[in-house]
Chain A
């Protein structure tokens, strides 16, 4: 069985022969790689190949703001830099964290302007040689997905959480209008890709779901997004995409039933630090929800004993039941020693073999 069938099979709860460790869900921070190189990882190898991860990719269809904007540096001193990135977030720190926002949309007229950056027919949304790309991926051996965006999180990002809450009280219709407009935009942009290429899965991303959830509650989110998700997932299904993965940061458990109702059937990365737990999710949702992630990435930075405990507590049972891809619950950071990373992968492989 190839990696494509393996990845799809696992998430469909089918019995597959091999452990799936997909690149898309084993993201490694550049600083971690530099640390590992100091600790023994050869410097002239492809890390994902060296670690034996499997190729799983998203189609290079750009559904972001286009054109992109150059970073504008606002201020820089020795330890930190305050800059304005291409989506107008003011970021602090030299690569790592976003601390404060200066949202680009502060009033309705900003939104009208902002929409000009979201033309679904911009030629550069698709790779330059799309016909050739289609030819190449039609014979692929790896799983290929399509990124289907995150209308709710985008709106929250572009108007800011404060703006979001204000609009919620004063002009909820505007929020709905933006979410619906973005849903149309995603559908229009991805139509050609989905018609031309048979993709294996779709990836939705609600990067700010938890932040919004903790601010406004799940009922509000559901009322704002349900229709959007239904339309988006209907569009994906029309094009034969059955496997729909929601990548959501934070404790999004209150939203899960809604997501299941609208057709999402897998979730990642299942953040342990925010109280998510793969075992209890499996108990609650059974085979209606495939799980990707859930291994506490912090545990990877502790001792081998801690890693064993974390992995053995979750992975054997879930691998046995199917519908589970073991992966860290976020990007593997530089606090993880090389020895631990190797040990973790070794342990996962040995569990899969037994």
Chain B
């Protein structure tokens, strides 16, 4: 267990100060993402098996209001084919995928088909599953939940949905890309419906629990750039962003963090225009350079991530070089609005001792033990 220096702020105060370029007692230690296979490996390398991992590394607490914004009910899972090696099945979001039966999380599936292909699919198969008034969107015993988070000392977030990522998941990149040209009215209608759906769904939670921040998810870029053009984003998605973030802001939610992998640089100005205040996880392998982004955007953009997971698999010297020289961690932290975070889930080629070295170094810099 990592010994932590005494702090003077609650996690909630620290989070808000970090995400608004304020003066936290130290930077917010964001819980990292790990593949289950990474944890399995680390158990063989000395990580105790009977601990809470986030506690073990001393990460701060944050939580998200458990509202279900997904398809409800989901599509019935159905297996179409399986043999010793793989299976073809339908997922809850309607995707038909082929994936390895053993450790499916260790590789990407092959996407074979999608449920949303036409206006009729949208009307008959999707809109009925996007009813904001479905009782199960909110957790059981909601009133009790509201009471439980009232005097919290940790930051509480709320999801504000996805306006490219969901459609891409339901249609596929190719189909969605064609539809932006072939039937742009439908894309517009779907995006608008989603924004209204999200607003109607989260309104009660915004009113009753007053979250501290909002999350959005897109995963809408590949290694070389976005999956849709900035022009299309501006036309179809940006109005939705403005609508949902201004709605959340009317309930005091000023911090809006967006999750997207890939090379997202061309989209950042649009996201900021849409009310997003921070982005993560800034994949180094996709050419993301957090130092350049800080210089470019200054205090307009909170940066979370940018630590190259591939470097963590190497050795202490290279990790040190990466943190100090490439990421200029002391400078990034002194500028504020930066949260050290690996640029996606830590993969199983990272030894425990390397991760510990990385995290120890981050802590020492953040807590002033290393100049």
Determine whether the beta carbon of B135 is less than 8 Å from that of A44: yes
Determine whether the beta carbon of B50 is less than 8 Å from that of A66: yes
Any A CB within 8 A of the CB of B314: no
CB distance from B46 to the nearest CB of A (A): 14
The 8 Å CB contact of A45, one of B1, B136, B144, is B136
CB distance from B106 to the nearest CB of A (A): 14
The 8 Å CB contact of B134, one of A45, A48, A119, A141, is A45
- Knowing A55-B141, A67-B49, A140-B144 touch, does A129 contact B61 (C-beta < 8 A)? yes
What 0/1 pattern do residues 89 to 129 of A give for CB contact below 8 A with B?
A: 00000000000000000000000000000010011110011
Q: Report chain B residues within 8 Å CB of A125.
A: 50
Any A CB within 8 A of the CB of B55: yes
Any B CB within 8 A of the CB of A147: no
Any B CB within 8 A of the CB of A226: no
Determine whether the beta carbon of B140 is less than 8 Å from that of A49: yes
Determine whether the beta carbon of A123 is less than 8 Å from that of B52: yes
Determine whether the beta carbon of B55 is less than 8 Å from that of A128: yes
Determine whether the beta carbon of B50 is less than 8 Å from that of A119: yes
**Main secondary structure on chain B at its contact with chain A?**
loop
What 0/1 pattern do residues 46 to 61 of B give for CB contact below 8 A with A?
A: 0001111011000001
Any B CB within 8 A of the CB of A135: yes
Any A CB within 8 A of the CB of B120: no
Please, which residue of chain B has its CB at the minimum distance from the CB of A126?
B52
The 8 Å CB contact of B73, one of A44, A46, A119, A139, is A44
Among A55, A119, A136, the most chain B Cβ lie within 10 Å of the Cβ of: A136
Determine whether the beta carbon of B147 is less than 8 Å from that of A49: no
What 0/1 pattern do residues 29 to 56 of B give for CB contact below 8 A with A?
A: 0000000000000010000011110110
- Knowing A140-B144, A141-B144 touch, does A46 contact B136 (C-beta < 8 A)? yes
Please, which residue of chain B has its CB at the minimum distance from the CB of A78?
B82
The 8 Å CB contact of B54, one of A55, A128, A135, is A128
- Knowing A44-B72, A139-B147, A141-B144 touch, does A122 contact B136 (C-beta < 8 A)? no
Q: Report chain B residues within 8 Å CB of A46.
A: 135-136, 140
The residues in B between 117 and 148 inclusive whose CB is less than 8 angstroms from any CB of A are 131, 134-137, 140-141, 144, 147-148
Determine whether the beta carbon of B135 is less than 8 Å from that of A49: yes
Which residues of B line the A interface, CB within 8 A?
1, 43, 49-52, 54-55, 61, 72-73, 131, 134-137, 140-141, 144, 147-148, 151-154
